[in-house]
């Protein structure tokens, strides 16, 4: 059967117009929350401060402190690269991320202290399909277990759907159980496992796929606001 009725309806003009207007490289944006603030990453400004809270050395955030820790286990094990031996190596990687054709890395600042505490990224942007991914996410142990990741994700989801995106993706190593739990807790829907999806740090990676669609945002938004501010 080849009847045209087998296809889904043509999308409304307003949606198709968005798919033609949105840039491949997301435009710089600052997103302000109650607990965190997201600003476009500038390696020359942010690398040293981010390195200091992610390299395993003791660190302080206001009254909160962490002793020396295993940076690989707590931050970098499931990331593309890291841990980094020097701030110069780290800065080089940040510059590469910022130069991506379809990415916007964001530095996450703690509102109370204005101190960088992690990173998150709009990535794999596909404006012609009105989909974008939240990825490259890591946080210092100083804020792991706090509202930082939840609020940053909340702000990014709201901004993406406000721009007109229809689908926001979240992908992670199948064995990254912390990331998988976080995606579900924040309202993403699990779509399955793509086996041998890529090679990362010399190892084959099976990837867990999650997504949120535009029509699901209002419910997820209410749930996130309850988690954050309820």
CATH of residue 18's domain is: 3.40.630.30
Average model confidence (pLDDT) across the chain: 96
Residue pair 209/171 in contact (Cβ under 8 Å)? The answer is: yes
Predicted confidence at residue 3, as pLDDT, reads 63
Residues 6+ apart with CB under 8 A from 193: 174, 206, 207, 208, 209
In total, how many domains does the chain have? 1
Predicted confidence at residue 8, as pLDDT, reads 87
DSSP for residue 57: S
C-alpha 123/C-alpha 14 separation (Å) is 24
Containing domain of residue 48, as a range? 4-229
- Select from 41, 115, 123, 43 the least CA-distant residue to 84: 43
C-alpha 168/C-alpha 38 separation (Å) is 18
User: Which parts of the chain have pLDDT scores under 70?
Assistant: 1-4
Residue pair 38/110 in contact (Cβ under 8 Å)? The answer is: no
Residue pair 147/110 in contact (Cβ under 8 Å)? The answer is: no
Beta 167-173 vs 131-139: how paired, if at all?
Answer: parallel
Degrees, nearest 5: CA angle 211-216-217: 95
Task: For residue 136, give Cα distances in angstroms to 105, 139, 145.
Answer: 8, 10, 18
Residues 6+ apart with CB under 8 A from 218: none
Residue pair 117/36 in contact (Cβ under 8 Å)? The answer is: yes
């Amino acid at each position: 059967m080849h009847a045209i009725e087998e296809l889904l309806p043509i999308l409304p003009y307003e949606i198709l117009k968005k798919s033609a207007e949105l840039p491949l490289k997301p435009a710089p944006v600052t997103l302000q929350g109650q607990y965190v603030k997201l600003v476009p990453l500038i390696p020359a400004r942010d690398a040293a401060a981010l390195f200091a809270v992610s390299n395993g050395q003791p660190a302080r955030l206001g009254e909160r402190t962490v002793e020396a820790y295993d940076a690989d286990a707590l931050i970098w094990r499931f990331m593309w690269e890291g841990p980094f031996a020097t701030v110069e190596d780290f800065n080089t990687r940040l510059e590469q991320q910022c130069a991506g054709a379809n990415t916007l890395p964001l530095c996450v600042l703690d509102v109370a202290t204005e101190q960088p505490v992690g990173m998150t990224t709009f990535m794999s942007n596909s404006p012609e399909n009105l989909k974008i991914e939240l990825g490259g996410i890591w946080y210092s142990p100083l804020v792991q277990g706090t509202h930082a990741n939840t609020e940053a994700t909340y702000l990014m989801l709201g901004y993406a759907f406000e721009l007109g995106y229809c689908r926001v993706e979240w992908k992670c190593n199948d064995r990254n159980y912390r990331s998988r739990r976080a995606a579900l807790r924040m309202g993403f829907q699990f779509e399955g496992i793509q086996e041998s999806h890529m090679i990362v740090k010399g190892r084959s990676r099976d990837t867990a796929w999650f997504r949120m669609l535009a029509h699901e945002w209002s419910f997820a938004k209410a749930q996130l606001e309850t988690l954050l501010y309820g």
